[in-house]
Copies of this chain bind each other. A is one copy, B any other.
Amino acid sequence: MKKGELRKQEIQEKMAKHILTNGLQSGSLRSLAQAAGTSDRMLLHYYQDKEELMTEVLTQISDNLITILEQARTVPIPFNQLVPHLYQLIKNPVVKPYIQLWLELIARASKKEEPYYSIAKQIGNSFIQYCSELIQADDEEKEKLAPLTFIIVEGIAMLDAIDFEPNINKALEGFSDFQK
């Protein structure tokens, strides 16, 4: 039970990296196996089926993202500064692959496809929680501003996906105009 668990962890990390780089679409057992230096046969030895595999891999990816976000944490800042700050964050090359994967996850989750739907909900909650911790405001306000932050950042991520940066910048101008 020693060597096996370790090997599984190794393999899982490589699969997570591969999914993060190449997306859910290239997540067939065979290509995952190749990326992890093993065979599809072995993957189904470590995991009961593909759904279990994806659940564990995506959970790990999600945990990795949380770690990254924790490291990039600042002291709580006002809402109007938080949005541009998070925009910078999701443009960061380290974070960007996660956002791209998030878009894929949402697309599948919107059809209630498992395990994607459950995982997406979990990640969504984590991110709202994260926003909440970063906002400088009282609790009642946080409860409104955290989801609002999440919404705006997600919307920005979508525009970014189709290379609409000029529009994003215009929108951010409009956003800060509004704070007056």
A residues bordering B, Cβ < 8 Å?
23, 25, 100, 103-104, 106-107, 109-111, 117, 120-121, 124, 128, 141, 143-145, 147-148, 150-156, 158-159, 161-164, 167-168, 170-171, 173-175, 177-179
Contact = CB atoms under 8 A, between A and B. Distances in A.
B107 A159 contact: no
Interface residues of chain A: helix, strand, loop or mixed (majority): helix
B144 A173 contact: yes
B150 A167 contact: yes
Contacts of A147: 159, 164, 167-168, 170-171, 174
B152 A152 contact: yes
> Nearest 4 pairs between A and B by C-beta?
A144-B174, A151-B155, A155-B155, A110-B161
